[in-house]
């Protein structure tokens, strides 16, 4: 099952990489808990399906804030909105 999840993530990442040509893709949320199990297979599938020129310098990394990234980002939006001049 882990291999299927990693392959599906790799397919999605390949599409994103081909469409946007980023230098870094940061992944967060609950899947970070399984990063060690998913990363290698996911990256291999992405590189297999994406254009070689797109993935040559591309890094796929876990979010530094891990599973809390979404909550902290939402809190930051509220703080920024409240601090903005009217």
pTM of the predicted protein model: 0.77
What's the pLDDT at 66? 72
Task: Specify the number of domains making up the chain.
Answer: 1
What's the pLDDT at 74? 87
Per-residue pLDDT tens digits for 27-75: 987 888 899 999 999 999 999 999 999 999 999 999 887 777 778 888 8
**42/52 Cα distance (integer angstroms):** 16
**75/86 Cα distance (integer angstroms):** 19
Residue 9 is part of a domain; what is its CATH number?
3.30.420.40
Which structural domain range is residue 71 located in?
A: 2-83
- Look up residue 25 and give its DSSP letter: E
């Amino acid at each position: 099952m882990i291999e299927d999840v990693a392959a599906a993530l790799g397919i999605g990442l390949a599409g994103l990489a081909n469409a946007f040509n980023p230098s870094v893709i940061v992944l967060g949320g609950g899947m970070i808990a399984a990063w060690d199990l998913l990363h290698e297979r996911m990256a291999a599938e992405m590189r297999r399906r994406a254009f070689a020129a797109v993935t040559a310098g591309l890094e796929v990394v876990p979010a530094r804030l891990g599973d809390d990234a979404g909550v902290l980002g939402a809190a930051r939006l509220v703080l920024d909105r409240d601090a903005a001049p009217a």
